Chains A and B, each alone.
Chain A
């Protein structure tokens, strides 16, 4: 039973990371690619981290005391991903707009109008 739950988490994580990579190839410009890069990979990586935490806690509960290390380290990695991923995406998007990359197929661009005023 425990194995099946862990496999589901791993499967979901791999599926969303795959979608994130697909999005990087399919989307037209840097902003839409960042959408794929931040959302899909965050969710996928969180899911994989949860699987590892689950495995670590399970083995720890069954008596292998060393396994708690893996669970704690994965949890810290999870928090770090949640904090740094949106911040990094924000920095890339801002830098792209400042260096003059226009959003492809855009129907509205308030930031560009603001600069021209």
Chain B
């Protein structure tokens, strides 16, 4: 029931945003929005709401604090990839990292962050939540030890993912 209400409210807010045209909404628009939001919320309630972790405001504050750093890393990533596109200097490989995260939400945040930041692309994940990362410029010092170090690959992202997702 709570899942249904949360998804319906989310859909209704999205409807209001999409139909806003500088003036107030008409009554007909709002009624149509409520009907549509109820239908969509009922259909999507099991996809949108798996558990109630995201209801904790602490996670949202950490997420907002994470965004500026994430965008900075992303801008850096783009110059790095631009350099490799123009020069063709690549040394690719797939490495396994064990960030030690416990929840699916945390590993999702981490995998998406890894894909959008310097020279790394998450390929697969196994049952123990180890990530397999395609790295475009493999460094030699990481290859020496078998439990690979996280730091050269994804800097401090596992810590942020832990704060947001656990």
Contacts and interface: CB of A to CB of B under 8 A. Distances in A.
Given A34-B121, A90-B123, A107 B81 contact: no
Interface string B82-117: 101110101111111000000000000001100110
Interface residues of B, number: 40
> How many interface residues does chain A have, given as a range?
35 or more
A42 B92 CA distance: 21
B145 interface: no
Contacts of A67: 22
B92 A104 contact: yes
Interface in A82-117: 82-83, 85-87, 89-90, 93-94, 97, 103-112, 114
Contact of A31 (B17, B74, B92, B116): B92
Contacts of B136: 32, 35
> Top 3 nearest A-B pairs by Cβ distance?
A65-B22, A86-B115, A110-B96
Contacts of A31: 92, 94, 121, 123, 134
10 contacts: A32-B90, A35-B84, A39-B78, A65-B21, A66-B22, A86-B111, A86-B115, A97-B123, A107-B138, A114-B126
Contacts of B122: 86, 90, 93
Interface of A is mostly: helix
A40 B77 CA distance: 9
A22 B86 CA distance: 8
A107 B22 CA distance: 56
Chain B binding surface SS class: mixed
Given A72-B17, A104-B92, A106-B93, 9 more contacts: A32-B90, A32-B92, A38-B121, A39-B81, A66-B22, A68-B20, A85-B116, A106-B94, A109-B93
Interface of B: 14, 17-18, 20-23, 74-75, 77-78, 81-82, 84-86, 88, 90-96, 111-112, 115-116, 119, 121-124, 126, 132, 134, 136, 138, 143, 148
Given A26-B88, A68-B22, A76-B17, A108 B82 contact: no
